[in-house]
Amino acid sequence: MKLELSRRDLFLAGGGAVAGIALSPVPWKLLDDLSIWTQQPPTPTPRPAGPLAFRFTSCALCPAACGLKARCFGAQPVGFAAVPGHPASDGGLCPLGLTAHHLAKHPLRATHPERLSGGKRERIDRATAVATLSAALAACGKDPKRTFAVVDGRPGRSLSRTYRALAAATGGLYVTPPAAGAALSLEALAKRFDGGALALGVDTSKARRVVSFGTPVLTDAGTPGLLARQRAESRRRPAAERIEVIQVEATRGRSAALADRYIPIAPGTEAAFALGLAHVLLDEKLADTAFLDTRTTGWPTSPAWPPASPRPSSSRRPASRPASSRRWRATSPPTARPSSSAATRRPRLSPGRPRRRSPP
């Protein structure tokens, strides 16, 4: 008997096979097993030996030095958590700090010392590295024409103190990158005072409104995660005691997306917008003059203050927000006091992205 197959028979057979496979659990079971196999390591990670213990320390990844509560098996940490009431972080901790125990298995982590000679890298053991460094330090101590430097790429950490102690004990130089951002402003202010180095002393827990001019206060600035946690805790209090974060910048970044209010402005008009807010506060007598008298020198007390605003020249760059908008931003709500403001030295700009403008 001769079997004859037409194109219709082939289409019917193919459609039935596709429908049968889609309705059967076979392909879904294969996808489920494949996802499980790809997510699991080839060999399970054994639990470190030793008893379970909890130790308290400080994070050394950035100058914030947040408090850490380490969950350890023996001497190996397996998890980190924030420390409530810590004097530096007050219970805040960034995502990198929470997962810092995984950095020990990072593929780019330095696992052994290397010696660079003639443009070639040579792997050496720890004993050889210690002997080589000791001989180099001894040679620098005997020859006044030779010196060495300890380079700290991220100054301000708890590990930086060890670097400074090493440089001081051996007569070397402690080298850090040039200051930038807030550190550059503090360095310029420190030159005008005789008290030595200065540090920021912003207490956002006592503020009711935080106005940021390009500074990512909710993501990276200061102690990571501190202001975000304080704002979340303030939501449980009455409306007049809650913390409000206002982000003023040209582009909508991560901190602006998390802020309570985002004010888009034209690039380069941050100073004009800030001066407009200050003028409204002084013009409508919203500023605390008693506080300003105790914190400033030569504060004007004339009834004619503030002076009348000069008419802007046509050659100047217009501000991005109208005067009515700046007045509304400065006066609503007037009960949100005290306030705090932060600004970067140079605003971050992203050319090519359209700016979103909200109605005045």
For residue 72, what is the domain's CATH number? 2.20.25.90
Q: Which of 77, 104, 131 is the last residue of a domain?
A: 104
- The Cα–Cα gap between 98 and 176 comes to 27
Residue 349 belongs to some domain of the structure: no
pTM: 0.53
C-alpha 176/C-alpha 149 separation (Å) is: 10
Model pLDDT, residue 56: 92
CB 150 within 8 A of CB 162: no
If phi over 0 gives left and psi between -120 and 50 gives alpha, with beta otherwise, what is residue 57?
beta
Last residue of a domain, one of 83, 104, 125: 104
Residues whose CB falls within 8 Å of the CB of residue 97, separated by 6 or more in sequence, listed in order: 59, 61, 66, 68, 80, 82, 224
CA distance 340 to 200: 13
Report the C-alpha dihedral over residues 291, 297, 298, 300, rounded to 10 degrees.
Answer: -20
Distances (CA, A) of 32 to 17, 42, 44, 350: 21, 17, 19, 42
Do 208 and 324 lie in one domain? The reply is yes
Residue 259 included in any domain: yes
What the block records as the tokens of 262 is 């985002």
Q: One-letter amino acid identity for 253? A: G
The answer on 216 and 100 residing in a single domain is no
Mark whether 99 and 217 lie in a shared domain: no
pLDDT score of 225: 74
Helices (H) and strands (E) in the chain, counts: 11, 11
Q: Looking at residue 161, what DSSP letter applies?
A: H
Residue 62 counted as domain residue: yes
Domain that holds residue 82: 52-104
Q: How far apart are CA 63 and CA 155, in angstroms?
A: 7
Residue 147 lies in a domain: no
Structure tokens at 97: 């700090």
Q: Is the dihedral of CA 183, 185, 188, 189 positive or negative?
A: negative
Asked if the structure places residue 275 within a domain, the reply is yes
Structure tokens, 166: 């090493």
The residue among 76, 104, 132 that closes a domain is: 104
Q: How many CB atoms lie within 10 A of CB 250?
A: 22
Give the whole-angstrom CA distance, residue 241 versus residue 326: 23
Q: Residue 213 belongs to what H/E stretch?
A: strand 209-213
How do residues 54-78 score in pLDDT, each as one tens digit? 999 888 888 778 889 999 998 889 8
56 bridge partner residues: 69
User: Which has the closest alpha carbon to 93: 133, 53, 64?
Assistant: 64
Q: Count of domains in the chain?
A: 2
In a domain? residue 308: no
State whether residue 258 is helix, strand or coil.
Answer: helix
CB 50 within 8 A of CB 73: yes
99 and 212, same domain (yes or no): no
Same domain, 97 and 214: no
Q: Does 4 map to a domain?
A: no
Helices (H), the chain: 7-23, 26-39, 95-98, 126-142, 158-170, 182-190, 226-234, 254-258, 270-283, 289-295, 323-331
Same domain, 336 and 217: yes
Q: Please state whether beta strands 149-151 and 173-175 pair in parallel, antiparallel, or not at all (unpaired).
A: parallel
136 within domain boundaries = no
Neighbours of 53 (CB within 10 A): 12
What's the pLDDT tens digit per position in 214-264? 778 887 777 777 788 888 888 888 888 888 889 888 888 888 888 888 988
**Regions in the chain scoring below 70 on pLDDT:** 1-2, 40-45, 181-182, 195, 200-201, 297-360
